[in-house]
Structure 1
Amino acid sequence: MATDFKSIPLIDISPLIAKCGDPLMDKDPGVAEVVRQLDRACREAGFFYVKGHGIPDSLIREVRTVSHKFFGLPYEEKLKIKLTPAAGYRGYQRVGENITKGVPDMHEAIDFYREVKQGMYRDLGRTMEGCNLWPCDPPNMKTLMEEYIDRCTDLSRKIIRGIALALGGSPEEFEGERAGDPFWVLRIIGYPRVPTANGHGTSDNDIGCGAHTDYGILTLVNQDDGITALQVKNSSGEWISAPPVPGTFVCNIGDMLKIWSNGVYDSTLHRVINNSPKYRVCVAFFYEPNFDVGVEPLDFCVKRTGGAKKFERAVYGEHLVTKVTTNFVM
């Protein structure tokens, strides 16, 4: 459960990255310190920044630059990859088409998912069947984003190994049948400037993305420098800003890790309000469980929390499909 935190902690994960392939990584003092910081951040905020992650700044910046180029195209051009159910809910959505708790969000976006072939997950995966829709312009977008997805998948797996240790399990706790074949989502989001209501706070219609939690295990947020828009809700109900820190990702816990941890780690509410005069881009990578895995509290987490399961079993794919099929005005 999130506490009354006032800022988002920053963690240098370079010792964890360096030792992640070592079978004795949990014995390393540097790794142990990263694990301690991860545990505290996940318990107290559910959000944290990471630096020392190993993904080149040049790639992180280029991903945002290419995203700006796409969103700067004429509307008719962007519609060539329009999101539809027939495409497995992949593609472009205009401003206001994404819905959070019944309210249109003031952003446009492109959604990419791990591609699902017919019959891959039997009936469970039918809704998500399809190939990603890549624009012709910018011409390097597909190649660049696929490299970025590979890098983010590898980084997420390493961070999750640290989180597994922080919970009290083995580094491999979320590999194999749980997330050894992870689903992933890449969401490229563009936020036009949305002024506050009469200069006094916000109304529902001012919010770039309404308050929500993420669905899976871990999210990596790559946000434009110089624009503070992401806000995280603490236990007192205050919205705490997560301003961009160059060279870092903002990370947060998803719903499935909340269940696996039996609530030791929470998926914290967050929202986006862009009051900057600039157009803002955010590229969010979601590291998810195996699509068809059943998720329920882990035994050692149940013991850590007093011996009772706080959550019912959930199937990740069912959870995702329920969200996806109610998130859009089609």
Structure 2
Amino acid sequence: MKAVQLSKYDQQPELVEVPEPEITGPLDVIVRIGGAGVCRTDLHIIEGQWEQKSGVVLPYTIGHENAGWVHAVGDAVTNVAVGDPVILHPLVTCGLCAACRDGDDVHCAGSRFPGIDSDGGYAELLKTNARSVVKLDPSLEPAAVAALADAGLTAIHAVRKAAAHLRPSQKVVVIGAGGLGHIGIQVLRAMSAAEIIVVDRSWEALALAEELGAHHIVRADGEQIDAVKDLTGGNGAEAVLDFVGEGGAVEDGVAMLRRAGSYYVIGYGGRIDVPTIDIISTEINFVGNLVGSYSDLSELMVLAARGLVTLHTARYPLEEFASALHDLEQGKVRGRAILVP
């Protein structure tokens, strides 16, 4: 089968022929990929940022946002059948460790992360397990929702934390209205009545944010902190969801918080450098966010089926993966790039 594999860090991946995955265990599921999201993390992987953390052996197939149709199943799989449309939770989890038993499968002690530390979905077929597949509503097409498997899942994971504390009279700042942020805005609208302020450098991204329900848009032109302070009566927002995490966004996000506010770290690449006295004197909180749980993904698919969350996509044939990666790096993708085998 065809697959896009990384054979050396800091070099362009290659489209190669590799053996098809096979069923070897009773709970195995092989999925025929209908769409694979192109994520900024893929760029970081290619650059080698994940080399030490993932420990993956090269070459391997990248791609961790995947959806498609069930191609084959092990003899103990009962939740899906061959031909079912599915989206894949990005982690392949054990179901037996303490975290899985608690429903916190994001922190499974024995998980694999296809596309990060094992073969992913920039390919025609992907092997996962029965615990990782969420059956799609008939109204949802795999390529249209594939990137929700990580971008959307990460967004809902962070928004659920923030929404649990936000009241209708309060304000939340979203930094970045791109691939993750435009999903986060929609999830916020569905799960919270708080007033949403979106900050981005791009007028196009801000226009999309406004279409999706942002109450206020602020261009990051050097005056964004003052603009947010004006919109919050000089106090700052109760919550900041940072979908960028680098290039000055971290410093901006912390400055946009009010006392006892919470800063949700979603995008990454930068550093948090805040004097400890500033943290304790204002009682601000820093909350890390990885991907969400299987339950998060299931609930996100309910929102998608109801039309409350839609993914803006640009589709590329698998053979044009290099163009998709280039366009993402250059900021030319509106929403999310999707590879379609």
Q: TM-score, normalised by structure 2?
A: 0.28
Q: Which structure has more RCO (C-alpha within 8 Å, separation ≥ 6)?
A: 1
Q: TM-score, normalised by structure 1?
A: 0.29
